[in-house]
Amino acid sequence: MKLKFTVNRRATTLEVTGAERVIDLLRERLGLVGTKEGCGKGECGACTVLLDGSPVCSCLLLSSQVAGREITTIEGLSEGESLHPVQAAFAETGAVQCGFCTPGLVLSSAALLADIPAPSREQMKRALAGNLCRCTGYQKIFEAVELASRNMRREKRRRR
Amino acid sequence: MPAPRKKRTAFAAIGTSVPNVDAVDKVTGRAKYGADHDRKGQLYGRVKYSEHPHALILSIDVSRAVNLSGVRAVLTHADIPGENSFGTAVPHQVVLCSEKVRYLGDVVAIVAADSEEIAAKAVESITVKYKILPVVSDPVEALSPRSPAVHAGGNLCVHQKVRKGDVGTGFSQSEVVLEREYATQKVEHAYMEPEAVLAEPGENGGITVTGSVQNLYSIRRGLARVLALPLGRVRVRQATLGGSFGGKDEAMTALCCRAALLALKTGRPVKMVNTRENSMRESYKRHPYRMKYKVGADRRGFLKAMEITIHADAGAYAAMSPFVTWRSTVQATGPYVVPNVRTDVYAAYTNNCYTSAMRGFGSPQVCFGSESLMDELAEKLGMDPLEVRLKNTLRGRSTTATGQKLNHTVSVGEALLNVTKKGRFLKTRASNRKHNERSHPKKGVGISCSYRGVSLGAEGVDAAGVTVSLQTDGSVVASSGLVDMGQGAATTISLMVAEELGVTVDRIRFLGADTSRLPDSGPTVASRTSFMAGQAARRACKEIVERIRPVASEVLGCPVDSLLFRNNWVSHSTERTRRGPGSRKAGRGRAGRKRLRLGELASLCFARGVSLFAHGWYRAPATSWDERTGQGDAYFTFVYGANLAEVEVDTETGTVRVTRFVSSHDVGRVLNLNGARGQVYGGVAMGLGYALFEEYAEQDGRPSLENFDEYLLPTVSDVPETEIVFIENPDRLGPYGAKSLGEPACEIAAPAIANAVCDALGMRVRELPLTLERVRLGRGLSRKEKRGSAGP
Amino acid sequence: MAVVGRRVRRVESLDRVKGVGSFTDDLTYAGMLHAAVVRSPVARARIKHIETGRALRRAGAEAVFTFQDIPGRNVVPIILEDQPFLAEEYVNYVGEPIAVVLASERETARAAAKEVSVRLEELPPILDLLKARRHPRVHLFGEDNVFKHLRIRRGDTAAAFSSCDVIVENEYRTPYQEHAYIEPEAMIAIPHPDGTIEIRGSMQCPFYVRKAVTSVLGLPESRVWVVQAATGGAFGGKEDVPSLLACQVALPAWKLKKPVKLVYDRTEDMVSTSKRHPSWVRYKSGATRDGVLKAVEVEYVIDGGAYSTLSPAVLYRGTVHAAGPYRCDNVKVDSYVVATNRVPTGAFRGFGSPQILFAAESQMDQLAERLGLHPAELRRRNLLRAGDTTITGQKLTVSVGLEETLDRVLEASGWPTGQKRDDGVGYGLSTVFYGVGLGAAGKHLARTGARVIVHADGSVTFSVGTTELGQGMTTVLSQIVSEELGTPLECVQMIAPDTSRVPDSGPTVASRSTTMSGNALKDACGKIRDVLLAEASRALRIPVSDLRIVEGAIVPAKEEGPSMPIDEAIKSCTTARLPLSAEGWHVSTSTSWDDRTGQGDAYVTYAWATNLAKVRVDRETGEVTVLKMWAAHDVGKAVNPTLAEGQIEGGILQGLGFALTENMFTDERGVIVNPDFSTYIIPTAADSPEIVSLLVEHPYPDGPHGAKGFGEQPLMGVAPAVANAVRDAVGVRITELPITPEKIWNALRSSRRVPVTQR
Amino acid sequence: MREASVIAPRSLREALRAVGRKGVVAVAGGTDLLVRLHDVAAGERPSFLVLDGVRTLHSIAPRGKGLALGPLVTFSEIERSSLLRTLAPQLVEAASVAGSVQIRNRATLGGNIANGSPAGDLLPPLYVLSARLELSYSGGRRQVMIEDFFKGPGETVLRRNELITRVVFERSQNRGFFLRLAVRRALAISKVSVAANVSLRNGRVQSVRIALGAVAPTVLRASRTEEYLLGRELDRDSIETACGLASGEAAPIDDIRSEADYRREMVGVLLGRGLLRIASAR
């Protein structure tokens, strides 16, 4: 079947069977290897992508389920040299250690901040619980979300 | 067949004949050349060429290209983060033209797309408006004040000179004075592998390029400058090189910069591979020279003075022209003692394809000039060509044209005698004369000789580094900042490491260069690799041996200086002489050990904390140069060689067949016999093409050919049987006495052939190549511009 | 100092947040095949026949390789060389590799691997570590199934116990802990036409990998080059295991002359790769009334699984750490690592010490309780200070900041002492220490090399033989280079380790990368500084000895006088072709060990830490909520405090997993039944408590800028702190990890039963 | 999963035509199904009937006094629905603690039901809301009460040619809850869960439904407990007794998540906490 969908704001058409996992489509067909596979069972969240803005596990998603929909991967979160505020904050606060879980965590955090601009720690924990990280102990990740939140709100105020 | 060499007992590995260490990859087709590197998700880059040899750019419209589906980036000069130019001598070579185009190979825009096809389509859809300017195409006219300027500072690229003695006095002492003009053509390197590169975004915003690069460090400099990155973030790696001959330097810098710009812009790997047409159009060539020689000699044939004026066509950019022409000034007189010399070499900018380094590097042109001249002088004096040469050749303690007193064994005479003896020069010459009176085709025999400075010389301070790492199992990894480009550097350096550490070559891995892992070792040019990298490798090895000796001595219970490292074993040297290192009955160490595998020794050393890793750095001996007078010790040592060619010329058709070739070179020491022979065979073939067929002709800045259908290279049937006589006068500076060979083998083939042709014809042709027309009619045909060759 | 000690941004973090693909599975090569491993389904059996026909008939399947295809030795050399790369006659654990299947697609390979049928004659396995020693019938290793027995004999414990006022004796157990790095094990082998083979993958120890591949393929080391790809977490789990994977790809790649990739499926990874050793400890401690620890007697048994791998070294660390960071004159330790028919266990952050420290620190609290002393007070009376001697007889001279870590934690936490609470909230303390580096057990490996190149524009590239695993080595080493050469950090770039480019630098384990590679880099930088200073000296006409590098310039040591910017010195050296590149080499201070008595200078130095856990325990459900953790670590010098905190926070959360949820269950046939993230429970963001990290700096003179490694330590004291806190909260002591609600509930139930409505 | 084929219907009719075919498996969110198929080789995988495209299966709508939910309503949609928050708070509570954000964004009501796990978090709430399932097949449909739908772990009465097309339930009474215990705070399967739906009149229990999750082969109604509570005041004694009864009704097992005794006891603890909450909210 011909799959038409949007990947990182770009209309994309691919010939697919429909039964491929979206993660394979992204990694193998589109070369978007920022999306990682850590368990293949939706438990670790390393494969998180945004489907119409909401975090989902791309390892539990069939290509036919994304027809007509919009996917954002880590590569699509920012353009060129620029960084999304969440990306910048992760780098700044030391929220990155081995980095394998980072793309998923960044996307989940970005989705959280789009939904709740100034989340509490509890809200963060709820929103990020689907992304396992074995290195950081999550503390610096919380700090990163807080920093990104502050920066995004400041930027919004400045624009107004 | 080449003369058999006696194996020297002093060495284990040096001088043996081993296959190139990369031979298996190449014969199995598994070697990975520039275009064989691919990455998932890579894009394909293409260039938009200038449509005019000389024009001002009024506007560049990329809007249609940008909107094509599958196009990921379209870049122009405005997108360059750093400087929009590079160049070793004059950093003015433009990456993406902004105001002006200077030759047809200039590029105004680049495209990255999902496929080659889309990229090509995108390039076509770019429109550029120009204001056409008059074309500068003649290097002599270019220097006239009336000529339009290719570059803002005028068209003089460089003026090199030598002033020795007083030529006026010299000519006044001369009984014979000859004035002759010679010309050589522009030729293409014609490496079989066109330029190719894969650029990948690297760590930390850096860039990694892998491709068919010859001089990694100069390309890295260009990339860092254009991309505004620190050198440490720019990583250049060499793919297996499918030939270079000096050709994959600036042309590759431009390609690498363009690919890298696209890769950094898109965040994806970008591959760019030149078609042969692109390569022919854009890549630089060997300088065409117009040479005026005036020579004076006494009646006995001794040279008194030489005055030489040369005009070189630099083309659109300076590239290596200042260095190429400098070597020409040093070698212009040929390997002769000339008391009074005045040489001027001018290189001028034109709107022709630019010229730069090519095997020989400014010497093949002047070798043709000086060696044709010597034959003409001989004829004028009524002497034979050998006699007049032998009278004048440089000898030990002679002083060169640049005033350098030679303090090593000077063997140009020996080389001449070698080839003339082997080729029975005088006898053949006499019998040819008789034959030619009656029969067709006409036969001729010619000789040539040269001296050549080793390495970079006073062009720059010369140094190189090699890292050697002995592994705990006794195998070795060596890596060099100078590269193997097909000339066999990997093998030569491996042999030296084998010699120093006493390992067999199969235990050594030679690593391709990587700019981030090895310090800048200068360019892999000027036949300097064996010499410079060889010395550096030996230093590294010696350092390791120094560190591990004490441990070996302790284990074997013998003095440090009696240890012998050979064939992956360490033993007492005294034992070796009696029974050989493999003997069981060899002497007994303190620990009851007689000998030790190198691997055991290495593990033992590692466990004791001895470092098995060393970096050798070798700085070449000093050279000197006085810009004003062109006097000085131009090179720290020289090599010498002589060639002899026999030809048959069909005077009805102009067809020339080289029937025999004899080549003799003093290389100091043959390191790898196989490799050395290969360099000579290849050099002769290249010189033959230069002499007989090859010409990259241009008219008003437009080339008249674009591929090998019209650019003729020697085929297997054109190449003569070549006999080789190596001379080994070990140089006190060289590794094991070795000097160099790669370029000498090439520079004097053409004059030997030309002299032979002239001998057969009984007529002098002073212009290369000796095409059918020149041989038959005494002049060349002018070529018409090729259809479509100037298209986008 | 300009850069060292600053909270600079991790150098690779920009690439990581952008998702730049540099992990193993992100790499693809033309013509690449995928491998899958055929594994033993049973714990112990004799192999009768391997049938590959059906697998090979599957479309896309390319080849199957068994031990018969191995050109070199069928051994994965680690310490004892008892582990075959592919099983020959016997299989000894569930998941043991038997064959490797190759196919064009990963899924095809995995499917085909299932179709390789192995006929087995099952044999009775040993699955219990306590039954393994001197098992009457099954001999898996030697006569007694003991891979290694270590002992410490110090003083006279029997006599000492008789003089003790309080003696506490208990048994403790800890289970498997799985590393659960988020990136599964992954490896690629690329055969090159020049007769070399490149191994690229997720790993800690490229030189171990090289050794394994050379052994299996029978090649010289020069022809095997191992490059670490970005590694998505390791924690010890990528220390010895990648050697196996590398062989699993190298053999087919070498035979087929094609690149081969292998990425373990998460379940395969959990079933077949190493874990933390399950342990059993019998611990007896005695103290006098005034709170002096008089005697300790320990029997420590850990389950090494079917092959020895790194177990002897793991046991060594556990043995040295057996009594905790205390003075004790009478110590008797007997520790054993035994062979069973279970997956080989190996390195995991802490390396044999978290298990024994769980016991040791649980003991200390019980002693305190019995003595009526506050846990902090008892520890203070016994902890090691400069001038003291450890239980291995090592005299400590400098960099002993244990007491300060205790003070800092007590001060920061405001731990309310003495009052009795009834809110289910409790506090638990642990003080621990960590021997830095490989210690005497690995002293033959205790060396590192480095290469530094200063480029013409002053930018610097360097390479070392140790690896970045997420711990921040690259950044810390970049900071050290930047500091040494006065180059801005942005211009320093580390090049990924490649065994052919750097000297064998031993493994990246034992929290040794900062100290060892840092020192090697200092050595290399020093050589380059000498060249730069000599050049400046020539130009400035000031003797080298009177010059120094300060903030990007070479300046006279005395106030006045001309100076030279570093850049200019570099340019001048470059023009003169002076070598601005150097190799560095560092051999660690010597250590010693007497196998008979267990006495010696076990490690070059030690890191020290105090942990305090505040928990709430739900008396009805037994659920433990960790409310807050405080941790103070003496790290010598924090080269980058942000990264050091990152190590503490990450280690604590792993420690909490070890303490509370992580457990791997094996059924009666030796099959692990919960090999995935939905059943093997590691902490999520929602489980992460507030963590207060405190850095204490007692410089270690032989470390770069005083730094000593400590990356493992944060995990080590967490479980006992939690166990002690649970005891403090609800009065039950759990001696077997993990501390599950069920265990607490059972303990509470057996103590009393209270109706729900009355609580 | 490359080789398996896919049917992606745009209408219910198309979907129903496909569902009966041999080797066809319906996929809703896929969060359980694709986990189960993770280790199944490509060649052995079923054809997927991907239901995403059938619009009518996504709706949340009032029906009569209750609600009708399409089976493709996701956990996240349940969590965020203000309608459900007032009408079925148990369901909202259950939906909001299950899995993770990523899972809740894909996991569906219908999938959770069809999956048939006794630990499925939405099931106890549906039990206490007396949910009725509409099962459709080509040419007809039937209704099944949720309690009659399950036969055992992973076993249901859903026929091969049927799809769950609607879940209808009454609105919750004035008091209800869902409580559970799990091995960690998120991303975990319940060890034990309790849902209740209680109405009180004059302080006495007028109606009550209690369902227990993960303590028997299927979700269990604690009917003896319900019977006991009916008509009683919710006080310490009655709650204590109810807890004891409920524990007795549970039939849990030991597994890797927990132990039978513990689970049994926790049924009582959770029920007690929920009932105390109700009692104290009066």
Mean pLDDT of C317-334: 97
Question: d(Cα C342, Cα C128) in Å, to the nearest integer?
Answer: 9
Q: 509-568 in B: which are within 8 Å (CB) of C? A: 509, 511, 514, 516-520, 522
User: Locate tokens 């001697």: which residue?
Assistant: C389
Question: What is the pLDDT confidence band of residue B590, given thresholds at 50, 70 and 90?
Answer: very low
Paired strand residues for C120: C47
A·B CB contacts under 8 A: 12
Question: d(Cα C261, Cα C272) in Å, to the nearest integer?
Answer: 18
- Three-class SS state of C540: helix
Does C470 sit within 8 Å of A98, measured CB to CB?
Answer: yes
Min Cα distance A130 → chain D (Å) is: 5
- The pLDDT assigned to D223 comes to 96
Chains contacting D with at least 3 CB pairs below 8 Å?
A, C
From the centroid of its chain, how far is CA C114? 33
CA B574 vs CA B561, B562, B579, B581: distances in Å: 10, 7, 9, 10
Interface contact B31, partner C, CB < 8 A: yes
Does D276 sit within 8 Å of C757, measured CB to CB?
Answer: yes
Does A94 sit within 8 Å of C9, measured CB to CB?
Answer: yes
Reading phi first (left if > 0) and then psi (alpha if -120 to 50, else beta), residue A139 is in alpha
- Three-class SS state of B671: coil
Out of A20, A43, A56, name the one closest to residue D187 (CB). Answer: A43
CB contacts of A111 in chain D (<8 Å) are 101
Inter-residue contact C236 to C347 (CB < 8 Å): yes
- CB-based touch B/D (3+ pairs, under 8 A): no
User: Locate tokens 């920022």: which residue?
Assistant: A34
Of the ranges A105-114, C413-422, D90-99, which one carries the lowest mean pLDDT score? C413-422
Of the ranges B341-355, B667-681, C638-652, C691-705, which one carries the lowest mean pLDDT score? B667-681
- The pLDDT assigned to C418 comes to 62
- The pLDDT assigned to B582 comes to 43
Inter-residue contact B470 to B603 (CB < 8 Å): no
Residues 6 or more apart from B717 whose CB is under 8 A from it? none
Inter-residue contact C177 to C653 (CB < 8 Å): no
Residue type, A123: Q
Mean pLDDT of B107-131: 96
Chains contacting C with at least 3 CB pairs below 8 Å?
A, B, D
- The pLDDT assigned to B792 comes to 36
Out of C621, C673, C758, name the one closest to residue D256 (CB). Answer: C673
Question: d(Cα C137, Cα C121) in Å, to the nearest integer?
Answer: 17
Backbone angles phi, psi at B572, to 5 degrees: -75, 135
Mean pLDDT of C597-619: 95
Looking at every residue in chain C, the average pLDDT score rounds to 92
Convert B345-403 into a string of H (helix), E (strand) and C (coil): EEEEECCCCCECCCCCCCHHHHHHHHHHHHHHHHHHHCCCHHHHHHHHECCCCCECCCC
- % of chain B surpassing 70 pLDDT: 91
Question: d(Cα C106, Cα C104) in Å, to the nearest integer?
Answer: 7
- % of chain D surpassing 90 pLDDT: 79
Residue of chain A whose alpha carbon sits nearest to that of C678: A43
Does C500 sit within 8 Å of B479, measured CB to CB?
Answer: yes
User: Locate tokens 């100091």: which residue?
Assistant: B668
From the centroid of its chain, how far is CA C605? 17
B·C CB contacts under 8 A: 157
- The pLDDT assigned to B460 comes to 67
Paired strand residues for C447: C587
Residue of chain C whose alpha carbon sits nearest to that of A95: C646
CATH architecture type of domain A2-77: Roll (3.10)
The domain A85-159 having CATH identifier 1.10.150.120: the answer here is yes
Residue of chain D whose alpha carbon sits nearest to that of A123: D101
CB contacts of A35 in chain B (<8 Å) are none
Interface contact D40, partner A, CB < 8 A: no
Long-range contacts of B675-679 (CB under 8 A, 24+ apart): B675/B20, B675/B487, B675/B488, B675/B491, B675/B492, B676/B726, B676/B741, B677/B2, B677/B724, B678/B488, B679/B487, B679/B488, B679/B741, B679/B742, B679/B745
Q: Which helix (H) or strand (E) holds C241?
A: helix C241-256
CA D215 vs CA C79, D119, D123, D222, D256: distances in Å: 48, 8, 13, 11, 13
Does D3 sit within 8 Å of A19, measured CB to CB?
Answer: yes
Closest CA to B359 of B228, B233, B205, B191: B191
Does A134 sit within 8 Å of C179, measured CB to CB?
Answer: yes
Taking 3-state DSSP, the helix, strand and coil percentages for chain B, each rounded to the nearest 5, stand at 30, 25, 40
CB contacts of C495 in chain B (<8 Å) are 235, 516-517
The CA-CA-CA angle for residues B495, B501, B504, to 5°, reads: 55
Question: d(Cα C740, Cα C665) in Å, to the nearest integer?
Answer: 14
For chain C, how many residues are written?
A: 759
**pLDDT tens for each residue of B398-443:** 999 999 999 899 999 999 999 999 999 999 999 999 999 988 899 9
Convert B510-528 into a string of H (helix), E (strand) and C (coil): EECCECCCCCCCCCCCCCC
pLDDT at B713 over 60: yes
User: Locate tokens 């201070």: which residue?
Assistant: C589
Question: d(Cα D3, Cα A17) in Å, to the nearest integer?
Answer: 7
Q: Which residues of B touch A (CB under 8 A)?
A: 40-41, 205, 265, 267-268
Measured over the CA atoms of residue C596, residue C601, residue C602 and residue C608, the dihedral's sign is: positive
For chain B, how many residues are written?
A: 792
pLDDT at D264 over 90: yes
Query: Beta strands C45-51 and C117-122: pairing type?
Result: antiparallel
**pLDDT tens for each residue of B318-362:** 999 999 999 999 999 999 999 999 999 999 999 999 999 999 999
Out of C267, C749, C757, name the one closest to residue D272 (CB). Answer: C757
Min Cα distance C404 → chain B (Å) is: 35
Out of B40, B205, B265, name the one closest to residue A31 (CB). Answer: B40
Q: Which helix (H) or strand (E) holds C122?
A: strand C117-122
Taking chain C, what is the end-to-end CA distance rounded to the nearest angstrom? 58
**Residue ranges of domains in chain A:** 2-77, 85-159
- The pLDDT assigned to C421 comes to 65
pLDDT at B222 over 90: yes
> In this structure, what DSSP letter does residue B506 have?
G
CB contacts of B509 in chain C (<8 Å) are 194, 196, 222-223, 225, 500
Does D189 sit within 8 Å of C757, measured CB to CB?
Answer: no
Does A31 sit within 8 Å of B267, measured CB to CB?
Answer: no
- Three-class SS state of B491: helix
Interface contact D239, partner C, CB < 8 A: yes
Question: d(Cα C228, Cα B106) in Å, to the nearest integer?
Answer: 41
> In this structure, what DSSP letter does residue C383 have?
B
Question: d(Cα D223, Cα D237) in Å, to the nearest integer?
Answer: 19
Q: Is the peptide bond before C738 cis (omega within 30 degrees of 0)?
A: yes
Does C681 sit within 8 Å of D188, measured CB to CB?
Answer: yes
Residues 6 or more apart from B159 whose CB is under 8 A from it? B344, B345, B346, B347
Highest average pLDDT, of A106-110, B244-248, B764-768, C754-758, comes from A106-110
- CB-based touch B/C (3+ pairs, under 8 A): yes
R_g over Cα of chain D: 19
**pLDDT tens for each residue of A127-137:** 999 999 999 99
CB contacts of B606 in chain C (<8 Å) are 444, 447, 504
Query: Beta strands B55-61 and C197-201: pairing type?
Result: unpaired
CB contacts of D259 in chain C (<8 Å) are 742
Min Cα distance D272 → chain C (Å) is: 7
* Torsion (CA) A26, A30, A36, A40 in degrees, nearest 10: 40
Does A80 sit within 8 Å of B267, measured CB to CB?
Answer: yes
Out of C195, C500, C576, name the one closest to residue B511 (CB). Answer: C500
- % of chain B surpassing 90 pLDDT: 60
Q: Domains, chain B, ranges and CATH? A: 23-31+463-619 (3.30.365.10), 397-459+632-792 (3.30.365.10)
Min Cα distance C278 → chain D (Å) is: 17
Out of B41, B205, B265, name the one closest to residue A31 (CB). Answer: B41
Does A61 sit within 8 Å of D103, measured CB to CB?
Answer: no
Mean pLDDT of C433-454: 86
Looking at every residue in chain A, the average pLDDT score rounds to 93
- % of chain D surpassing 70 pLDDT: 98
ipTM for the predicted complex comes to: 0.85
Question: What is the pLDDT confidence band of residue C417, given thresholds at 50, 70 and 90?
Answer: low
Min Cα distance A9 → chain C (Å) is: 16
Does B41 sit within 8 Å of A33, measured CB to CB?
Answer: yes
Inter-residue contact D18 to D48 (CB < 8 Å): no
Mean pLDDT of C428-449: 87
Min Cα distance C217 → chain B (Å) is: 14
Residue D42, Cβ neighbours under 10 Å: how many? 17
Residue of chain C whose alpha carbon sits nearest to that of B460: C575
Inter-residue contact C459 to B233 (CB < 8 Å): yes
Same fold? A2-77, A85-159 = no
CB contacts of A50 in chain D (<8 Å) are none
Question: What is the pLDDT confidence band of residue B215, given thresholds at 50, 70 and 90?
Answer: confident
DSSP B13-80: STT-----TTHHHHHHT---BGGG---TT-EEEEEEE-SSSSEEEEEEE-HHHHTSTTEEEEE-GGG-
Out of D5, D48, D100, name the one closest to residue A45 (CB). Answer: D100
The CA-CA-CA angle for residues C546, C552, C557, to 5°, reads: 15
CB contacts of A75 in chain B (<8 Å) are 267
R_g over Cα of chain C: 27
- The pLDDT assigned to B459 comes to 64
